[in-house]
Structure 1
Amino acid sequence: MTGKNLLLLSSSKYDGFGYLGFAKNEITTFFKEKNVSRILFIPYALFDYEQYTETVRKPLKEFGFDVTSIHTFKFPEEAIDNAQAIFIGGGNTFKLLSTLYENNLITKIQQKVTKEGVPYMGCSAGTNVATVNICTTNDMPIIYPPSFSALNLVPFNINPHYLDPDVNSVHQGETREQRINQYHEIPNTPPVVGLREGSLLHLNGNKLTLKGDRKARLFIRGQQPVEYETNSDLSFLLQ
């Protein structure tokens, strides 16, 4: 895991803040420590790439970074080759992963982040695809990717937008916890971090830290879930 630099957000929006606003300090520090001035954005999780890029460009410009979108390049692989940093936004995880496969970017991104240490930021769907597979996404399978296997930048899964049961709700369907437990009924499934809104994971080399202002809930197959406070060291998940 040495050399990887990841910032994985549960979402881009959080109550009381503008787009990415809740994580401004974390984002700014994350990129500037690596001398990043230009970020390559991958908008594949939504259909309107132009509008999505503009949504992302405005706040990141205010944070001090220029944004170029991969959809403006004739050859997407060359965009990855020349990227100072990569940001994959949220939307539909199935569409996102399918388009990454379609453009032959899975291995290319893995190499860039793993071997060259290029900073990677994801939120929501962009966080899902950074993990082992997309089996713990909340999204509807609107398109079928060639595989559910994702970028595997970390050896565990994440459930962004993790929700605790609402004791006042009349909803009788499965809770998030129950659905994750159902996933863990399958043998050899990786741990799952239930990442609540307002939370993010920061990987710097061999150190993985929970950031933000919310706890995270960790699910490991065959064990009871465990709550972790913000600023907890979760580096043991990298083993």
Structure 2
Amino acid sequence: MLRQILLLSSSKVHGHEFLEYAANDICEVLNGNKVSTVLFIPYALSDHDAYLKKVEIPFKKWGYCVEGIHKVNPLEAVEKAEAIFVGGGNTFRLLKTLYDLNLVKAIAKKVLKDGIPYIGTSAGTNVATRSIHTTNDMPIVYPPTFEALNLVPFNINPHYLDADPNSKHKGETREERILQYLEEKESNTVLGLHEGSTLYIKDNTVILKGLKGARLFIKGKDPLEIDVGSNLSYLLKTEENMKT
């Protein structure tokens, strides 16, 4: 299976400009595929034009043109795309729009069969996984299903936060909510990406990159801290294999 996928925890990290912390990884993927124009999918936010202008700033600085999918025929744009960038915002809104426009299968085909690069951040990372059940977002709209692009066979929780032992907040922690999800039959694996962490998938190799590590949840096992540079290729195994 062809894969060239870069999944960011967030587009904004403290002390860095928009997408700056991942600039080297983004450019490496795009340059390696001789990409000149990136197809941008802004559906996670309501103001598509404003979002496009924001995304154009770093990509143009790096030497790439950006085409907003909302300005052209969406299916034709995906078919012709050299690379796809899906921005963050509300994951439910994003996935619903992808289904409304019949783009889910089209994007998956371009990425998994044609091998074009896919770059996602936050909501764009959520929809790249098997489902959006582990998003942090509010369900402001209702997509026909929570099943997503399934570019990788596990779930991700972007913006993952460890519990603060000094906090007086007594609500559920992110870890508790993920463990509750794993009590159900939907999935066996969730990768919590800390702010500034990036997951790079090339074919059957998965490497954790970026500024910070991640926290891995596998059903029936204790959560595990993952360091930057770790090889996580075993996460591409089927859910059945992950049970062992």
Q: Could you state the TM-score of these two structures normalised by the residue count of structure 2?
A: 0.96
Residue 240 of structure 2 corresponds to: none
How many residue pairs match? The answer is 237
Q: Give ranges in structure 2 of 5+ residues lacking alignment.
A: 238-244
SS in 1 for 2:113: helix
Superposition deviation, residue 228 in structure 1: 1.1
- Matched with 2:75 is 77
Give the equivalent residue in structure 1 for 2:84.
Answer: 86
Over the aligned positions, Cα root-mean-square deviation in angstroms equals 0.7
Alignment of 1:29-178 (within 5 A): 29-73=28-72, 75-178=73-176
Distance across 2 between alignment mates of 1:190 and 1:9:
21
- Cα displacement (A) at 1:160: 0.1
What residue identity is the alignment partner of 1:28?
C
Describe how 1:222-233 pairs up with structure 2 within 5 A.
222-233=220-231
Which runs of at least 4 in structure 1 moved beyond 3 Å after TM superposition?
none
Structure 1 CA distance, aligned partners of 2:185 and 2:201? 27
Which residue pairs with 1:191 in the alignment?
Answer: 189
Q: Unpaired segments of 5 or more residues in structure 1?
A: none
Return closer, same or farther for 1:188/1:134 CA change in 2, 3 Å cut-off.
closer
Within 2, Cα distance between the matches of 1:127 and 1:67?
19
Alpha-carbon distance in structure 2 between the residues aligned to 1:227 and 1:167: 17
1:6 paired residue number: 5
The share of aligned pairs that are identical, in percent, is: 55
CA distance in 1 between counterparts of 2:182 and 2:29 reads 33
**Residues 174 and 60 of structure 1: CA distance in aligned 2, closer, same or farther (over 3 Å):** same
| Paired residues of 2:155 and 2:187 also in contact (CA < 8 A) | no
Tell me how far apart the structure 1 counterparts of residues 3 and 128 of structure 2 sit (CA, whole Å): 12
Amino acid at match of 1:162: Y
